[in-house]
A and B are shown apart, each in its own frame.
Chain A
């Protein structure tokens, strides 16, 4: 079945450092891909998405490119801030209902 694998955390960075969180997927067909962010004690917020190969999703300085040849959707940010500290989830939309299949999440901690 469809699945998503994320790099294990936690990831600890200093403020203004470059961020990469790896995400790879296995799916039939051509799923849409998403990154969600979860702040402590809250639900999930959609960060960005890409719906077809070579699409680049971007939001709030974060970017991810849908790479069909490597089945990847890595999240990047050029300069992280303390306020970016959260758990990040990679997900794909599966099947004809678009149900979301999530990775296990990656915790990011940014230190001043």
Chain B
């Protein structure tokens, strides 16, 4: 049973560019969240999607946007990239209605902005 799958694994972009990261949740999971993990820090919540809608958003600017598709997969888009956006981006999923279940995380996309 595949877990959470993220693509690409690594990415290098130039300041000002736009990037799209992709995530396929674990089978049976329909709620997807995205986190940003800067080097040496704990992950920070970006937003959560359920039923193709953004349900909650963390303290991130509007340059960060997302989408969830009918098959529950999700994309994270970041516009006008800044050097400070360099980080590991983690996707996590869980079944809806199971707040205490704990999230399953993917291996992440390492984004480097130069």
Interface residues of A (CB under 8 A from B): 4, 32, 34, 36, 41-46, 49, 51, 89, 91, 93, 95-105
Contact = CB atoms under 8 A, between A and B. Distances in A.
Given A32-B102, A43-B107, A104-B42, 18 more contacts: A42-B107, A43-B106, A46-B102, A46-B103, A51-B100, A89-B42, A96-B99, A97-B48, A97-B56, A97-B99, A98-B94, A99-B33, A99-B48, A100-B43, A102-B42, A102-B44, A105-B41, A105-B42
B108 A43 contact: yes
Interface residues of B, number: 25
Nearest to A107: B40
27 contacts: A4-B42, A34-B102, A36-B105, A41-B107, A42-B108, A43-B105, A43-B106, A44-B43, A44-B105, A45-B105, A46-B104, A91-B42, A93-B99, A95-B56, A97-B48, A97-B55, A97-B99, A99-B56, A99-B58, A100-B33, A100-B43, A100-B45, A100-B103, A102-B43, A102-B44, A104-B42, A105-B40
Interface in B36-86: 40-45, 48, 55-56, 58
Nearest to A97: B56
Contacts of A43: 4, 90, 105-108
A51 B101 CA distance: 9
B41, B44, B55, B105: residue with the most chain A Cβ atoms closer than 10 Å:
B105
A89 B88 CA distance: 15
Contacts of B102: 32, 34, 46, 49
A49 B100 contact: yes
